Structure 1
Amino acid sequence: MSKSLNSPTARLLQSSRLFSLPRPLPQPALETVTSTGIYRASETATLPYPTQQAITTPASSQFRGDFGLKRPLPSKAIKGRPHLRIRAQDNSAHITDFESALNHTQTQAKWQQMGAPLLIKGKRDTFTNNNKSITSVYDATVDNTDREAVRLAMFQSSDASSQSRRNGVPSSQPQATKRWKYGGPWITGMQEGQFATWLSRSGLQERKKEFRTFLIQRMLERRVRNEERVLREQGERRALSAAQKETFRAEIESNYDTELKRLRDEHEIQFLGSEMTAAICDFLDLPGIRGQVGAGDIAATSALQDELTSGLGASDSGPPSTHPGAGLGHVRSNAVMENHPFWGPQAYASPVLARVVTPRNNYQGSRYQAMIGVGGVVTNDPVGNSGRQDRRHVAPTEYNEENIPEQYLDTDRMTTVIDTDLPGGNKTWVHPQTAHIDERGRIRLDVGRGDQEAIAVKRNKVEPIHEARSASSRGPAPYAPQASIANFGTALPDMRRAGPARSLTTGFDEQVPQRPRRESETAAKIRELLGNAPKR
């Protein structure tokens, strides 16, 4: 037994790539609080983000069950499963535990096909209730993990802002450089026991001298930056010499105890918003820490405090658990135009067919938006309770392969009532717009209702395309409301415009065949006039 374990083949297998798969991430919490206060958990629900790495193999190797493991997997168990996740390899019972990973790999494939850009969730403006800016997760101000890059960007931004104030123009500098990954834990989200354990294992007592050197260097950089700013305001564009910097360093080292006492006194007044807290977070590489707004804080409101601590990574929910893009796609913007091979450039992106999970509630409750599933993600219908229902599409008595796709065009009916007789369930066309990843690693998708012309191009239907173009030039098509009690201010519908939409090219098509006949009549008339003319 020991001879086989120490053989060259065994050592090669033990040091192979698949024998050193990364450790799985912690399981996300799937418990939700119901209206009765009871926690409801699900053991079979799809996780909001993958926790184990998915592996695949070529088709030739998959036929033999070869996934690079020690032994091939049974062909019946992996049939139709090109992606697997390995839970255990040769455990104590000599069993390889695996399962299909299509629930996450197919989601990634769908998102790459949709092409929805991943953005940073911006803060809403207090007055307009709109996002202030649209920032991609792959911008240089967001997608970085280097501590020095953030520190240098902070110095450059302060110099740019002072230059703009001196010139009397608003600053056009980009937003503050942020990080999405830190070396230290998020202290605000730790329990008291976890914080005590971290303090005992971090070895902070042995790093006092290192912190003193770090604090002196931080004070020196601030002193040099202030002196250079004063020189620029006086019109002298020059940097401080090395001798002047050494002089400042000697002054700071001699007055270190006084400066340290000043920082501690400010900390007693400003608490977590003090300069000492920022220095400790920078030294230990911790996310920004933000406390409650108090009487001694500089920021009197929570909105101002959010603005001041936005560059430090301070938030109520903590830093993100994954990369802001989560590997779903690498598109930075949706400012692209699709070019159809026959219909040419399109005003809207290609729509996708979404499944209605929960209809909207028109009468009671706060669920005024329907919940739809797009690309493996559940999101809300962009349109809530509509005052006008489209009555042009009525459910047929029987469904077949021809009229089922036509039912998906009536978005209001699909999102209002679940039709149990419709094969495949209620579906509707939507346009994926933008998405972002929240702090818990969950995908938040924003969609828009499908455009009629874009849907017609997607379905390759010629007549609906002409009808959509003619309707866009005439405005929305009228509809005949159902019989109801008369109400003041309600008139009968205009039945003259309630007929089928006419094509804008109908008159032109009718006049084209008449052109040769008119030309021949004109030529005959000219010859007749020339024949009756008097001879000279």
Structure 2
Amino acid sequence: MATRSVSPGGALLRSSRLFSLPAPLPPPSNPHANTRWNSDTMTTPYPTHQVITTVSTSRKNGDWGLKRPLPLRSTTKSTVAMLRVKAIDTMDQITDYSSGADHGITLLKFQELGLPIVTRDANAAKERANLHTPDAPQKSVFEDDIDFTAIGDMKERAELIDKRWKFQGPWLAGMQNGEFQKYIEKQVRPRRAQFRMFLRQKLAEEMNADAKAKAMDAGDEEPNPIRPKDISEEQLTNYLRRLRESNSTLFQMVSQFLDLAPLKPPNVVVDNLDRQGVKVDVSSNPYAENGPPRTHPSAGLSYLRTKNYIDNHPIYGPQEQIKPVVARLVKPRRQMGGIETPKFGIAGIISDVPLGDVRSNQKFSGSKNQISVDNLEVEVPGGPKMWVLPNRANIDSEGKILLKATLPKLEVELVAKELIGEGEGIFGKEREADTVKSSEPALARRQYSKPAFSSAKGYGVR
């Protein structure tokens, strides 16, 4: 049968990148669904639809590369050209879209911070300690022993199987009782025969390994390998009884067969021993306690692998610390119900106040660079702000950004203020007196002191 020729327009549409939009992700769970904090317009923890943009000349005509032009009244109000397409063509022959500036601007602001996304530690206590330690070791989510999904030969990569971020099976600890029962009925019970064959293979491997070791000790030749079909039902039944006596071993067998997301091994006590005193391997997966991520551990926010770079100032030279950003106090320590943890907004991301003996935690402040986190000073334009130094960022299992920051050194803060025209610089009036004597330093200062895109006046502050 002869194939129909495709018109040039049809070929263009088939090869268009518009028709390769990824499928939307499942919506995140809303913890405020039954509370007064719930809102239909609130920003979700992570985006679920692809965000598209267009140039300003096409935007004025409503041209977004879609099937039909979009209304100018609703697409030109925002200062940024970002739309979230929910359906290209609905049953009513319209394009269902909404503004995508909430997550789009968050991406731009986070990229301006220059932070890599690092992995979370499998030890929860160690992870909490690292969040507030600027010099704690950090490992990028793009390392080869973590950033992979295809396990290939299990024997060669047995030590890396548990460190994956994507599994075929669910995370059982995050399932409701009804979801778990449904999973057992539809996914687990029909595979009973396959699981028995899986156990036969495991038993055959153990028997072959024992026979090979005994032959080696006795100096005999290696015996013929035992095949899974050679194992009798009685041997398989005895093997099942042994597995039921060791919960940790049975748990590992079931997890490997169903490819379940890792959990903490059950019945683990001191020194990682089970009830029978057998040493078990605690999961090394950083998501074993809270579940695997919904997307890639980087969430597409940053593709940097390290933050070990140096900012080079045009006048002061290489800087000891990277350029700080301005954080806004959004939740004070003292609330109507008592004392709570204060919260800061850094690049549109809510973060805790830096801990330790820092200027923001001192009760008595004698410097203008210090602010009080006890009360929200509404008379201050834009709210109280302070300069912070972001040092660690990772993504939790719910898709939320966990950002931690410390306070920069005073010299670094003064240099950052001088770049945007706030403050007298690191040398104060002495620097101004030096620039009067020579026109070249003054010209260099006027030329390089204002960057084209500043964290304090651009996307870095919201």
Please report how far the alpha carbon of residue 41 of structure 1 lies from its aligned counterpart in structure 2 after TM superposition.
Answer: 2.1
How many Å separate the matches in 1 of 2:294 and 2:127?
Answer: 30
- Kindly report which structure 2 residues correspond to 1:253-268, keeping only aligned pairs within 5 A, or say none: 253-255=229-231, 257=233, 259-268=235-244
Q: 2:387 aligns with which of 429, 438, 445?
A: 429
Equivalent pair of 2:255/2:262 in contact (CA under 8 Å):
yes
Partner of 2:460: none
Aligned to 1:187: 172
Matched letter for residue 109 of structure 2: K
How far the C-alpha of 1:334 sits from its partner, in A, is 2.2
The residue type equivalent to 1:317 in the other structure is N
| Aligned positions of 1:269-280 closer than 5 A | 269-271=245-247, 273-274=248-249, 276-280=250-254
1:433·1:447 contact (CA, 8 Å) conserved in 2?
Answer: yes
Conserved? CA contact 1:31–1:39, under 8 Å: no
Equivalent of residue 139 in structure 1, options 130, 136, 143:
143
User: Retained in 2: the 8 A contact 1:122–1:134?
Assistant: no
Secondary structure, in 3 states, of the residue corresponding to 1:460?
A: helix
**Partner-residue secondary structure (3-state), 1:261:** helix
CA distance in structure 2 between the partners assigned to 1:74 and 1:459 by the alignment: 42
Q: 1:248 aligns with which of 183, 208, 225?
A: 225
> Whole-Å Cα distance in 2 between the matches of residues 125 and 87 of structure 1?
38
SS at match of 1:64: coil
Q: Partner of 2:455 in structure 1? A: none
Which SS does the other structure have where 2:83 is aligned? strand
Q: Please state which structure has a larger fraction of its residues in helix.
A: 1
Q: In structure 1, what is the Cα distance between the partners aligned to 2:297 and 2:145?
A: 12
Aligned with residue 53 of structure 1, among 50, 53, 63? 50
Mapped to 2, the partners of 1:186 and 1:125 lie a distance apart of 18
CA–CA distance in structure 2, aligned partners of residues 387 and 206 of structure 1 = 62
**Quick one: distance in 2 between partners of 1:124 and 1:104?**
31
Distance, in Å, in 2 between the alignment partners of 1:351 and 1:123 is 30
1:178 aligns with one of 140, 158, 163 = 163
Tell whether the 8 Å contact from 1:178 to 1:311 is kept in structure 2 after alignment.
Answer: yes
Letter in 2 for 1:30: N
Conserved? CA contact 1:85–1:99, under 8 Å: yes
Stretches of structure 2 lacking an aligned partner (at least 5 in a row):
1-5, 131-135, 435-462
1:192-341, aligned counterparts within 5 Å?
Answer: 192-202=177-187, 205=190, 208=193, 210-219=194-203, 244=222, 247-250=224-227, 253-255=229-231, 257=233, 259-271=235-247, 273-274=248-249, 276-290=250-264, 292-293=266-267, 299=273, 308-311=281-284, 315-341=288-314
Gap change, CA 1:289 and 1:392, over 3 Å in 2: closer
Counterpart amino acid of 2:371? D
- CA change 1:350–1:12 in 2 (3 A) is closer
Measure, in 2, the Cα distance between the counterparts of 1:25 and 1:128. 28
1:170 corresponds to: none
In 2: Cα distance, 1:84 partner to 1:48 partner: 18
Residues 255 and 89 of structure 1, relative CA distance in 2, 3 Å threshold: closer
After TM superposition, give the deviation of residue 280 of structure 1 in Å: 2.7
Q: What CA distance in whole angstroms lies between the structure 1 residues aligned with 2:410 and 2:32?
A: 38
The alpha carbon displacement at 1:90 in A equals 3.3
The DSSP-based 3-state class of the residue aligned with 1:111 is: helix
Alpha carbons 2:392, 2:403 under 8 Å: kept? yes
Match of residue 23 from structure 2: 23
1:153 equivalent to 2:157? Answer yes
2:389 equivalent to 1:392: no
- Per the TM alignment, residue 213 of structure 1 is displaced from its structure 2 partner at its CA by 4.8
Q: Which runs of 5+ in 1 are unaligned?
A: 1-5, 158-174, 237-242, 394-409, 468-500, 507-536
Name the aligned partner's letter for residue 84 of structure 1.
Answer: L
Decide whether aligned partners of structure 1 residues 455 and 69 sit closer, same or farther in structure 2, where only a CA change above 3 A counts.
same
With 315-324 and 327-336 compared, the bigger mean Cα shift is at 315-324
Deviations 1:474-503 (A, max 9, x none): xxxxxxxxxxxxxxxxxxxxxxxxxxx999
Deviations 1:87-113 (A, max 9, x none): 233323333221111111111111111
Q: Which has the higher contact order (CA 8 A, sep 6+)?
A: 2
State the number of aligned residues.
411
User: Which has the higher Rg, Structure 1 or Structure 2?
Assistant: 1
1:424 CA drift (Å): 2.0
CA distance, structure 1, for counterparts of residue 110 and residue 365 of structure 2? 31
Output the aligned Cα RMSD: 4.3
CA distance in 2, matches of 1:204, 1:122: 34
> 1 CA distance for matches of 2:177 and 2:406?
45
Aligned residue type for 1:310: S
| Pairwise CA distance, 1:448 | 0.7
8 Å CA contact 2:146–2:165 kept in 1: the answer is: yes
Return closer, same or farther for 1:113/1:218 CA change in 2, 3 Å cut-off.
farther
Asked whether the equivalents of residues 182 and 285 of structure 1 are also in contact (C-alpha less than 8 Å), the reply is: yes
Q: Is the 8 Å Cα contact of residues 32 and 41 (structure 1) preserved in structure 2?
A: yes
Superimposed CA distance per residue, residues 295-317 of structure 1 (whole angstroms, 9 cap, x where no aligned partner)? 9x97369xx99x83314687343
3-state SS, counterpart of residue 251 of structure 2: helix
Q: 1:181 to 1:125 in 2, by over 3 A?
A: closer
Deviation at 1:69, TM superposition (A): 1.1
Q: CA deviation at 1:380?
A: 0.7
Q: TM-score, normalised by structure 2?
A: 0.74
Q: Contact (CA 8 Å) 1:141, 1:177: kept in 2 or not? A: no
Identity across matched positions, percent: 31
Residues 256 and 433 of structure 1: is their aligned pair in 2 closer, same or farther, counting only changes over 3 Å?
farther
SS in 2 for 1:356: strand
Distance 1:436 1:333 in 2: 13
